[in-house]
Amino acid sequence: MARMHSRKKGTSGSKFPVLKKVPGWMRYTAKEVELLIVKLAKEDHSTSEIGMILRDTYGVPNVKSLCNKSITPILKQKKLQPKLPEDLTNLIKKFIEIAKHQEANKKDMTAKRGRRLTISKIARLVKYYKKAGTLPQEWKFDPKQASMYVE
Protein backbone atom coordinates (compact mmCIF):
# COMPACT_ATOMS: atom_id res chain seq x y z
CA MET A 1 0.00 0.00 0.00
CA ALA A 2 1.28 3.45 -0.81
CA ARG A 3 2.15 6.02 1.82
CA MET A 4 -0.24 8.90 2.32
CA HIS A 5 1.85 12.00 1.66
CA SER A 6 5.00 10.70 0.03
CA ARG A 7 4.58 8.84 -3.30
CA LYS A 8 6.47 5.88 -1.78
CA LYS A 9 5.47 2.29 -1.25
CA GLY A 10 6.12 0.24 1.81
CA THR A 11 4.98 -2.96 3.48
CA SER A 12 6.74 -2.80 6.81
CA GLY A 13 4.70 -2.80 10.00
CA SER A 14 3.94 -4.88 13.03
CA LYS A 15 2.66 -8.41 12.50
CA PHE A 16 0.29 -10.25 14.81
CA PRO A 17 0.97 -13.86 15.78
CA VAL A 18 -0.35 -16.40 13.28
CA LEU A 19 -2.23 -18.43 15.90
CA LYS A 20 -5.34 -16.80 17.31
CA LYS A 21 -5.64 -19.12 20.33
CA VAL A 22 -4.34 -18.60 23.86
CA PRO A 23 -0.82 -20.05 24.36
CA GLY A 24 -0.46 -22.90 26.87
CA TRP A 25 2.14 -21.01 28.93
CA MET A 26 -0.25 -18.14 29.83
CA ARG A 27 -0.46 -17.60 33.59
CA TYR A 28 -3.34 -15.13 33.61
CA THR A 29 -7.05 -15.65 33.08
CA ALA A 30 -9.27 -13.27 31.12
CA LYS A 31 -10.71 -11.80 34.32
CA GLU A 32 -7.23 -11.09 35.74
CA VAL A 33 -6.16 -9.39 32.50
CA GLU A 34 -9.28 -7.20 32.55
CA LEU A 35 -8.47 -6.18 36.13
CA LEU A 36 -4.89 -5.35 35.06
CA ILE A 37 -6.23 -3.24 32.18
CA VAL A 38 -8.51 -1.31 34.53
CA LYS A 39 -5.66 -0.80 37.01
CA LEU A 40 -3.32 0.50 34.30
CA ALA A 41 -6.03 2.77 32.86
CA LYS A 42 -6.59 4.32 36.29
CA GLU A 43 -2.84 5.07 36.37
CA ASP A 44 -3.38 7.24 33.24
CA HIS A 45 -1.81 4.93 30.67
CA SER A 46 -3.05 5.06 27.07
CA THR A 47 -4.40 1.96 25.36
CA SER A 48 -1.19 1.33 23.42
CA GLU A 49 0.88 1.76 26.59
CA ILE A 50 -1.42 -0.71 28.37
CA GLY A 51 -0.87 -3.22 25.56
CA MET A 52 2.92 -2.82 25.71
CA ILE A 53 2.97 -3.12 29.51
CA LEU A 54 0.85 -6.28 29.35
CA ARG A 55 3.14 -7.71 26.67
CA ASP A 56 6.47 -6.79 28.24
CA THR A 57 5.79 -7.06 31.98
CA TYR A 58 3.01 -9.61 32.30
CA GLY A 59 3.68 -11.76 29.23
CA VAL A 60 0.25 -11.36 27.63
CA PRO A 61 0.88 -11.64 23.88
CA ASN A 62 -2.62 -10.73 22.67
CA VAL A 63 -5.48 -9.41 24.79
CA LYS A 64 -8.10 -10.02 22.10
CA SER A 65 -7.42 -13.76 21.87
CA LEU A 66 -7.60 -14.09 25.66
CA CYS A 67 -10.59 -11.84 26.51
CA ASN A 68 -12.42 -12.01 23.14
CA LYS A 69 -12.36 -8.19 23.00
CA SER A 70 -9.60 -5.63 22.70
CA ILE A 71 -8.49 -3.05 25.26
CA THR A 72 -10.71 -0.18 24.08
CA PRO A 73 -14.04 -2.06 24.45
CA ILE A 74 -12.94 -3.24 27.90
CA LEU A 75 -12.26 0.37 28.92
CA LYS A 76 -15.56 1.48 27.39
CA GLN A 77 -17.42 -1.22 29.35
CA LYS A 78 -15.78 -0.04 32.60
CA LYS A 79 -16.45 3.64 31.64
CA LEU A 80 -12.72 4.49 31.58
CA GLN A 81 -12.27 5.41 27.91
CA PRO A 82 -10.65 8.79 27.20
CA LYS A 83 -12.68 11.71 25.81
CA LEU A 84 -10.75 11.69 22.53
CA PRO A 85 -9.44 8.59 20.73
CA GLU A 86 -5.73 7.96 21.19
CA ASP A 87 -4.70 8.40 17.55
CA LEU A 88 -6.45 11.77 17.37
CA THR A 89 -4.80 12.86 20.61
CA ASN A 90 -1.38 11.86 19.25
CA LEU A 91 -1.94 13.87 16.06
CA ILE A 92 -2.98 16.92 18.09
CA LYS A 93 0.18 16.59 20.21
CA LYS A 94 2.23 16.37 17.01
CA PHE A 95 0.51 19.52 15.69
CA ILE A 96 1.32 21.37 18.94
CA GLU A 97 5.00 20.39 18.70
CA ILE A 98 5.22 21.51 15.06
CA ALA A 99 3.51 24.81 15.89
CA LYS A 100 5.92 25.38 18.78
CA HIS A 101 8.86 24.65 16.46
CA GLN A 102 7.46 27.00 13.85
CA GLU A 103 7.18 29.85 16.36
CA ALA A 104 10.93 29.61 16.95
CA ASN A 105 11.82 28.98 13.29
CA LYS A 106 9.56 31.13 11.14
CA LYS A 107 11.32 30.40 7.83
CA ASP A 108 11.13 26.60 8.14
CA MET A 109 8.95 25.74 5.15
CA THR A 110 9.22 22.01 5.74
CA ALA A 111 7.62 22.50 9.13
CA LYS A 112 4.92 24.60 7.51
CA ARG A 113 4.14 21.74 5.13
CA GLY A 114 4.19 19.24 7.99
CA ARG A 115 1.76 21.41 9.91
CA ARG A 116 -0.65 21.50 6.95
CA LEU A 117 -0.41 17.74 6.44
CA THR A 118 -1.07 17.13 10.14
CA ILE A 119 -4.14 19.38 10.05
CA SER A 120 -5.46 17.45 7.05
CA LYS A 121 -4.90 14.11 8.83
CA ILE A 122 -6.73 15.45 11.89
CA ALA A 123 -9.63 16.60 9.68
CA ARG A 124 -9.91 13.17 8.03
CA LEU A 125 -9.80 11.39 11.37
CA VAL A 126 -12.42 13.73 12.88
CA LYS A 127 -14.67 13.08 9.88
CA TYR A 128 -14.32 9.33 10.41
CA TYR A 129 -14.99 9.51 14.16
CA LYS A 130 -18.06 11.71 13.64
CA LYS A 131 -19.42 9.19 11.14
CA ALA A 132 -18.66 6.30 13.53
CA GLY A 133 -20.35 8.11 16.43
CA THR A 134 -17.23 8.34 18.61
CA LEU A 135 -17.17 12.14 18.47
CA PRO A 136 -20.24 14.39 18.65
CA GLN A 137 -21.32 16.02 15.38
CA GLU A 138 -20.64 19.55 16.65
CA TRP A 139 -17.01 18.76 17.66
CA LYS A 140 -14.50 20.87 15.71
CA PHE A 141 -10.71 21.07 15.81
CA ASP A 142 -9.48 24.62 16.35
CA PRO A 143 -5.74 24.99 15.65
CA LYS A 144 -5.52 28.12 17.80
CA GLN A 145 -6.76 26.24 20.87
CA ALA A 146 -5.10 22.88 20.17
CA SER A 147 -3.50 22.60 23.62
CA MET A 148 -6.98 22.68 25.14
CA TYR A 149 -7.78 19.23 23.64
CA VAL A 150 -4.76 17.53 25.21
CA GLU A 151 -4.40 17.30 28.97
Please report whether residue 19 resides in a domain.
Answer: no
Specify whether 72 is located in the same domain as 48.
Answer: yes
This prediction's pTM: 0.80
CA 144, 150, 151: angle at the middle one, nearest 5?
A: 130
Domain at 130, CATH number: 1.10.287.10
C-alpha distances out from residue 57 to 10, 36, 64, Å:
31, 11, 17
pLDDT at residue 98 greater than cutoff 70: yes
Give the pLDDT band (50/70/90) at residue 137.
Answer: very high
Mean pLDDT of the chain: 90
Shared domain check, 94 and 112: yes
The answer on 63 and 44 residing in a single domain is yes
Residue 2 belongs to some domain of the structure: no
pLDDT digits (tens, 9 = 90+) for 14-44: 776 666 788 888 889 999 999 999 999 999 9
Domain-embedded: residue 131 = yes
7 is a domain residue: no
Q: Is residue 49 included in any domain, yes or no?
A: yes
Look up the domain containing 101 and give its range: 86-149
Determine, yes or no, domain membership for 15.
Answer: no
Q: How many domains does the chain have?
A: 2
